[in-house]
Amino acid sequence: MVAVASVVVAIGTATGMLSALGDRPDADEARPEVTSSPYLAPLPAVPTPSASASPSASRSASPSPKKKASPSPSPTKTEKRQAPAASTRLYRYPESQVLDWVRSHSGDPRHAVIASRIADQPAAVWFADFTPSNITSRVRAVTSGGRTQGRAPVVVPYAIPDRDCGGASQGGAPDLGAYDGWIDAFAAGLGSGEVIVILEPDSVAQSECLSSDERGRRFASLARAGRVLKAANPKARVYYDAGHSGWNTPATQAGRLRQAGAASADSSDGIFSNVSNFHRTNDEIAYDRQVLDALGGPSSLGAVIDTSRNGNGAPPGGEWCDPSGRKLGRTPTLNTGEARIDGYLWVKLPGESDGCKGAPGTFTPSYAYELAR
C-alpha cells in the first residue's frame, strides 16, 4: 500500500484552548500571528508516491512496518459491547477562534451561516504544547465545564516525542519519560465526568520513520497513557489513532494499534480515524470496522470519525491544503445508529486554515463560509 505521511501542524504556543485570531477588519485573510491555537492540517486525501507540497514528501512513500510478532490478545473483559450512553451530549467549549469571530463580527454578511453551522457545534479542544506546569489546570478548565453541563468534552493530547516524523509539526515532549509525566498531569485534569480523549493523532499511523525499537517504546508509552487516562477517570473514553481509509491497510494498522494497547479494555475504548481529513463517512465506517475486526480485543471497542470537513469526500489528486469544493460533514453526535461507530466528531475545527486560504492555524471566514453554505 503506497502511503504518504500526514501533515499535522502545531502552530504557536498552544494553551489547550482555541482562541480568536480573527481577520483584519479590512481584509478577508487571517492574521499571520498565532498566539494560542493548536492547529491540525489534514492528512493527505489520497496517498500518492510523491507530494511536493507536503513537508514530509522526502519520506519513504512505501513504509514497511517493522513490528515484532505478537500473539493475539486474550482479553479478560468479554462483556457485550456498550456504546456511549444515549443521554450523553457533546460539550461545546466556549473559547474558540470561530466563537470569537462570531462575537466580534455580528454585521458580517456571513455571520448567520458561520454562527449556526459551525460556531454552534461542539468541537475538540487541542493540547498541542509541552507545558507540564499548567496542563492539569488547562484540561480541568475544559472537563469541569462539560461536567457542569452534563455533556462530554472532546480533548486531544498531542505531545508525543518525534511527532510528525520531524515534519511541519515536529515537536512535543523532549523524550518519552517526559511525555509519560505530561500524560500523568493531563490525566489529573480529566475529573470524573464523561470525556472523550483522542489520543495523539498520527502517533500510530505515522510511525514508519521510527526504528523498530523506537516504535516499540512509543507504543509502550501510548499503552501506558491509555491506562493512566482511564484509571484517572473511569468515565473517560480513550481512542487510538487509526489513520484513515486511504492510508495504511486495516491489517497493518491493526497490528500497530495492538502493540500500542488499543486492543485492551484497560487502556482503550477503540480507535479514531479521518482526523482533519476529507474521506467520506461511509468509507471510514467500513475501514474502521475492518481495523476493529483485525485488532481483536473485547467487543466493547468502537470507533469515532472526524466528519468536520468530509461532506463532499476527498478531493482529487491528493490535495490537502484548504482544497476548494469541500463541505461540512455530519454534525457531531454520539448517536450514529451504526454498529461499532461510537460517534461523529469535529476534531478539526472547520474554518481553521491549513495555510492556503489563510495563515496556518487561523480562523478564515471565507473558508468557513465556503464549507458551511
Which residues carry out catalysis?
164, 202, 354
DSSP string, 162-185: TGGGGSTT--S-SSHHHHHHHHHH
Residue type, 50: S
Q: CA torsion, points 318, 322, 323, 327, in degrees to nearest 10?
A: 120
Q: How far apart are CA 68 and CA 255, in angstroms?
A: 9
Query: b vs e for 235-270, b when ≥16 Cβ sit within 10 Å of the residue's Cβ?
Result: bbbbbbbbbbbbbbebebbbbbbbbbbbbbbebbbb
DSSP string, 279-341: --HHHHHHHHHHHHHHH-S-TT-EEEEE-SS-TT-PPGGG--SS-TT----SPPBS---STTE
Q: How far apart are CA 304 and CA 368, in angstroms?
A: 23
Q: How far apart are CA 33 and CA 177, in angstroms?
A: 32
Residue 26 sits at φ, ψ, to 5 deg, of -110, 15
| Structure-block grid coordinates of residue 130 | 509541552
